Chain A
Amino acid sequence: MKLEKDQLVKFYSLMVRTRKLDNLMIEALNSGRMAGFYHAGPGEEAVGIGACTFNMRDDDYLYPHHRSHAIGFTLARGISPKGWVCRHFDKNPGEVEGPTAEERGIFGISGTIGGGFPLSLGWGITAKKNGKNQAVLSFFGDGASGRGTLHESMNMAAIWKLPIVWICENNQFGQFMPIKDAFAREDIADIAAGYNMPSAVVDGQDVLAVHEAVEVAVQKARAGDGPSLIECKTYRMRGHAEGVPDVDHVDPRSEKDKEAWRKRDPIVLFKENLIKQRILTAEEVSKIDKEADDEVAELDKYQQECPVMVPSDASILDVFLYAE
């Protein structure tokens, strides 16, 4: 399906917002006004946004991954970023308008790498049992390709022809481990053959290429033709998490490689493309960038005004141990 102009603009707008929210968290954590983990993902925006924005129905299931703490996926699914921002600052966002993550088929991100495969298998079983042509999009990084859960889940999904699209966001590093030393083949997509599953390798810096490859796989899934595997080649521009060494095993990562990938920044590539194709003017692009800046500043202000969750709300934490 050919995308309309407003859809192309949306891709750009979502990628820019994702980048800016990523930057907000990097700044907040490094300046000490936020506590905890942050796993930034600048340069990888095209994968989640390209895959999810126009290929998913409201009732589909999505397993995102931990990079950028899934903010690109959140925005692509039409979920307000207020909860996401507030939670990082231990603030209570109150009632947030729009659908919740759960209402868009996102039940969480595993704290263990590879923990998403078996759960996604469960959503695939659910989708098939529901009989409403729902699809499951399940993302994983190159690092997760080392987990046995991948084999168990992909095998079962293939046997039962479940409507799951497995999408590998190969950013070439699992913490400090380069994928070339962690996987026996050049392409992770090659494992699909072992499960009789179609696969594709796409340029993860090209939001349209990702969209198109996933579109084909989602159509197959909805038609009852079973799972597919799509590998998106991208690159991790920062360390695994903020504040940890950015190394290749023990040595600093190659600046030359980083520079080469920086030239292939998905936002810059897409922007140039939009201008070249006369879909947007440079002024219109600047306007979108400015709107995104304002929105992120507004979100930061919003979280600052929200009440702190601890300690007054901590007393109710055990309420969430068990469901009614």
Chain B
Amino acid sequence: MKQTVYLMAINEALEEEIKRDEKVFIIGENVQQGTFGVTSGLVQKFGTERVMDTPLAETAVAGAAIGAAMAGFRPVADMMFADFIYIAGDEIMLKAAKWHFMHGGKVNVPVVIMAAMGGGMKIGAEHSMCPEALIMHTPGLKLAVPSTPYDAKGLLKTAIRDNNPVIFFYNKGLLGLPGEIPEEEYLIPFGQADIKREGSDVTVVAISRMVHMALEVAEKLKDKVSVEVVDPRTLEPLDIDTIVESVKKTGRVVIVDEDNRRCGVTAEISAQIFETAFDYLDAPVQRVAAADMPIAAGFLEDYVLPQPKDIEDAIERVMA
């Protein structure tokens, strides 16, 4: 194993896949310099044909990547901020998601749409979102939301090799997160949740940056309550079996996500737990999510996005 940080794990995955497959290229605004560092240094190694800087034109960036994918390439489009995928709604939600289906399976769209999601940087309502539910709601799109350097690298390599459109949301609150990855090549299959901490009293399902908040709370409460932290790692496909298994063991569950509460990821997972594991629950499912309002900028962000205290309170409610 070797030490790395989250953004470098993503960078390594891109480098390895560009090297491995001549059909892989990166396209986006300022990807040569890299806004968040995940694509930095690659143009010097692979040239401008493999790492393409574009004008400021998110719709065409996504659409061009999707078109090239239909015609045999495996492009990675970097949308910079996850909020910006709304600018390419037709391209991502309609074209990438539907054209394989619409054409009876004859058109494949092996594209990766990559973007940085999440709060923590306190940069306001249009640069802090986690639009996971939007993607999860759209049949035809896969969605990876890695929480660690290990998961980020393994999932991104799988995403690039997948023959379907994959949305890869890395979290800008985790860019410098240290962690270990193997020296040798590895891939992480989609649809396999990872138990980030074992416990017996309560299951906390947490996503992306929230995994670390949940782990922090679990550690704080360890003398009072044994918390199991389950990280789905991909939301489509969703490994509901591992979540339900954990719930059957603990009988209590808190779901934590940084997207909105209303019609959010927490709502979907909660519904699936109620549908399949109701008889095992000793308390109603509790949810911790962003408030249903725009994410305020600056220090006000903390009032909108989930905080450790919110998770602690939710755990107390299910344990009461």
Contact = CB atoms under 8 A, between A and B. Distances in A.
A175 interface: no
B136 to A, nearest CB: 14
B57 A156 contact: yes
A120 interface: yes
Interface string A97-135: 000111001011011100101111111011001000000
Interface in B52-108: 52, 54-55, 57, 59-60, 62-73, 75, 90-91, 94-95, 99-108
B140 interface: yes
A3 interface: no
A122 B66 contact: yes
A118 B91 contact: yes
Nearest to B106: A102
A148 interface: yes
A250 interface: no
B284 interface: no
Which residue among B49, B71, B109 has the maximum number of chain A CB atoms within 10 Å of its CB?
B71
B164 interface: yes
Contacts of A322: 100, 140, 142, 163-164
A315 to B, nearest CB: 15
A122 B110 CA distance: 13
A111 B97 CA distance: 13
A324 B163 contact: yes
A321 interface: yes
Interface in A158-208: 159
B298 interface: no
A122 B67 contact: yes
B22 to A, nearest CB: 9
A115 B94 contact: yes
A121 B108 contact: no
Majority secondary structure, A binding face? helix
Interface of A: 61, 100-102, 105, 107-108, 110-112, 115, 117-123, 125-126, 129, 148-149, 152-153, 155-156, 159, 317, 319-324
Given A117-B63, A118-B63, A322-B100, A156 B139 contact: no
A319 B100 CA distance: 10
A102 B107 CA distance: 7
Contacts of B110: 323
B153 to A, nearest CB: 23
Interface size bucket, B side? 35 or more
A108 B105 CA distance: 12
6 contacts: A125-B64, A149-B59, A149-B90, A317-B101, A320-B101, A324-B163
A309 to B, nearest CB: 10
Contact of A323 (B27, B57, B90, B100): B100
A149 B63 contact: yes
A115 B91 contact: yes
A102 B103 contact: yes
Contacts of B100: 320-323
B71 A117 contact: no
Given A118-B60, A156-B54, A108 B68 contact: no
A61 B55 CA distance: 24
Contacts of B75: 122
Given A110-B95, A321-B140, A322-B164, A121 B106 contact: no
Contact of B90 (A107, A115, A126, A320): A115
Contact of A108 (B27, B69, B107): B107
A112 B68 contact: no
A158 to B, nearest CB: 11
A108 B90 contact: no
Contacts of B25: 129
A214 B139 CA distance: 39
Nearest to B57: A152
* 10 closest Cβ pairs, A-B complex: A118-B63, A122-B67, A152-B60, A119-B67, A152-B57, A323-B163, A122-B64, A122-B68, A126-B71, A121-B64
A110 B63 CA distance: 12
Contacts of A112: 90, 94
Which residue among A107, A155, A317 has the maximum number of chain B CB atoms within 10 Å of its CB?
A107
Contacts of A101: 106
B67 A108 contact: no
A177 to B, nearest CB: 20
A156 B60 contact: yes
A111 B107 contact: no
Interface string B230-258: 00000000000000000000000000000
